[in-house]
């Protein structure tokens, strides 16, 4: 499933169901396929647990190196992205806090509104074990008590992590900085215009800053340059088109914002490590789908 995001890079995908807003995705990064998930955010909280290989995960302007001994919890509406240097497997646990507090008038909702944070790094073995238990209970065969067990595991895990972080002073009030607001504006502009030629000067004018400032704050926030981000976004968008039998490579290049099919093929091979045709042949044979 490709990332579906609206005009401000917020995902439109519903994670879980209205009745039970909780889901766990078992994901894989392979250097022979797509090796990144571009910036986005969503209303759900997210816990990322990497159980094989190594995952580079960025939440706002902080980057974390995750493996089987640690995890990260990302708050609602925080910009995040993922990259890797080698093959890796991980679980993405997404849940709407409403699953815990139940209804808007519940006093527990105040906890989510008053204790603000962007992300919490998790390396305590007891919490990693609790995450593993949550995953185990979620993937058990369907039973009448399964939703109750999952909710119990989630409440215990969330409460313990937040309690420790609060007492240690790790959790502090999070307020978006003016720079982060500009980064979101830049991402919005790029997403709406990636099919066209975008210059750094265009982006600078859009957010009311000079060229050097937008380059600096973008790099500081996302650990990548504007040009590299735009290229990866175009390639990511091209993959859905590529897996269709209705378009030629030239048409895919044009609809993804590349000025020629030769440049598209060259960029694709440099980043994805194979040509577009090789990618399509390999993943059509294997029935590959991308979940972002």
**d(Cα 48, Cα 100) in Å, to the nearest integer?**
19
**d(Cα 261, Cα 38) in Å, to the nearest integer?**
23
Is 178-285 the same fold as 22-168?
no
Residue 249, phi-psi category: left (phi > 0), alpha (psi -120 to 50), beta (remainder): alpha
User: Strand 71-74 relative to strand 45-52: parallel, antiparallel, unpaired?
Assistant: antiparallel
Residue labelled with tokens 């790029």: 190
pLDDT number for residue 7: 44
Single out the residue of 159, 147, 148 nearest to residue 16, CA to CA. Answer: 147
The pair phi, psi for residue 105, each rounded to 5°, is: -80, -5
pLDDT number for residue 13: 57
pLDDT number for residue 22: 94
CATH number of 22-168: 2.60.120.280
pLDDT number for residue 85: 67
Topology (CATH) of 178-285: Arc Repressor Mutant, subunit A (1.10.10)
Block mean pLDDT (10 aa), the chain, length 292: 46 69 86 69 90 87 86 90 81 93 85 82 94 92 87 94 86 69 88 90 92 91 88 88 84 92 92 87 55 34
* DSSP one-letter code for 287: T
Sheet of 55-59: strand order equals 36-40, 80-84, 55-59, 62-66
Tell me the domain boundaries of the chain: 22-168, 178-285
The pair phi, psi for residue 69, each rounded to 5°, is: -100, 0
Q: Are 112 and 75 in contact (CB under 8 A)?
A: no
Buried b or exposed e, range 69-81, using 16+ CB within 10 angstroms? ebbbbbbeebbbb
CA torsion sign for 82, 290, 29, 158 is: positive
């Amino acid at each position: 499933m490709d990332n579906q995001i609206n005009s401000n890079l917020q995902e439109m995908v519903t994670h879980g169901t209205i009745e039970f807003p909780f889901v766990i995705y078992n994901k894989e990064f392979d250097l022979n396929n797509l090796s990144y998930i571009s910036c986005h955010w969503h209303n759900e909280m997210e816990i990322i647990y990497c159980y094989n290989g190594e995952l580079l995960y960025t939440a706002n302007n902080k980057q974390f190196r995750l493996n089987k001994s640690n995890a990260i919890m990302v708050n609602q509406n925080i910009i995040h992205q993922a990259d890797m240097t080698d093959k890796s497997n991980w679980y993405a646990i997404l849940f709407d806090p409403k699953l815990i507090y139940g209804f808007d008038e519940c006093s527990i909702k105040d906890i989510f509104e008053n204790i603000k944070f962007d992300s919490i790094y998790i390396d305590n073995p007891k919490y990693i074990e609790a995450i593993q238990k949550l995953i185990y209970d979620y993937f058990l065969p369907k039973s009448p008590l399964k939703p109750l067990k999952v909710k119990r595991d989630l409440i215990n895990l969330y409460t313990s992590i937040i309690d420790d972080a609060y007492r240690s002073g790790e959790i502090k009030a999070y307020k978006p900085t003016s720079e982060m607001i500009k980064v979101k504006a830049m991402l919005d502009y790029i997403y709406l215009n990636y099919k066209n030629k975008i210059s750094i000067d265009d982006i600078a004018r859009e957010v009311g800053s000079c060229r050097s400032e937008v380059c600096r704050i973008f790099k500081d926030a996302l650990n990548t340059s504007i040009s590299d981000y735009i290229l990866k976004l175009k390639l990511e968008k091209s993959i859905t088109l590529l897996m269709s039998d209705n378009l030629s490579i030239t048409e895919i290049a044009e609809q993804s914002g590349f000025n020629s099919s030769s440049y598209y093929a060259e960029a694709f091979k440099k980043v994805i490590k194979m040509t577009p045709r090789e990618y399509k042949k390999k993943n059509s044979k294997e029935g590959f789908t991308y979940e972002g």
